[in-house]
Amino acid sequence: MRFYRGAVGLASAAPLEFLGNMILSCVISSNMHISMLDDLDRRLLRQLQADPSLTVAELGARAGVSALKAQRRIARLQETGVLTGQHAVIDWRALGYAVTVSLRITLDKTQARAFDEFIAAARDIAEVTEIQTFLGRVDIRLSVIARDMGHYQQIYREAILTLPHMTDIEALMTVATLHDDESLPL
């Protein structure tokens, strides 16, 4: 059995050949305090973070337990919300997206529905890959991908600048990603 992202968390399935050259990584919820995990839970989660394509038998062997025990623990971690699924990490550059821009946006906070309306509109922009909200001077950060600078200018003019309730916007162009690791220290 191999684990792949399904509609509802982890499910066993045949390898997803059509995904091509993507990296699968574990999604671990912060709902459960790390002290609630025992040594076996941590070993299993470390192995899943390192290689989420492991079969239950391989996972158990690497964690030093039987496949049945590993399967039961993984099920428990899913039921308690610690392990919420897996996702594919796509290399956007391999698909022709060479530009990544981080937009820091300040909203008009005098409008009661400013956040909700802005976020709903931003979700409709296909090139927006991430939306984060903040406390402080900056309210929202959008990650935007584009094929090239001309494509980014088109997205910026036709979609970003039409988003509601913006009072300020600052663009930061990504030059290089030097560290990108979502693994938890378990």
Q: What is the pLDDT of residues 134-151, one digit of tens each?
A: 998 999 999 999 999 999
Q: Are 118 and 163 in contact (CB under 8 A)?
A: yes
Q: Domain segments of the chain: what residues?
A: 3-89, 93-173
What per-residue confidence (pLDDT) applies to 94? Answer: 95
pLDDT in tens, 60-106: 999 999 999 999 999 999 999 999 887 778 889 999 999 999 999 99
Nearest to 12 by CA among 78, 65, 62: 78
Which pTM value belongs to this model? 0.67
- For domain 93-173, give its CATH number from 3.30.300.10, 3.40.50.740, 3.30.70.920, 3.40.50.300: 3.30.70.920
CATH code of 3-89, in short, is 1.10.10.10
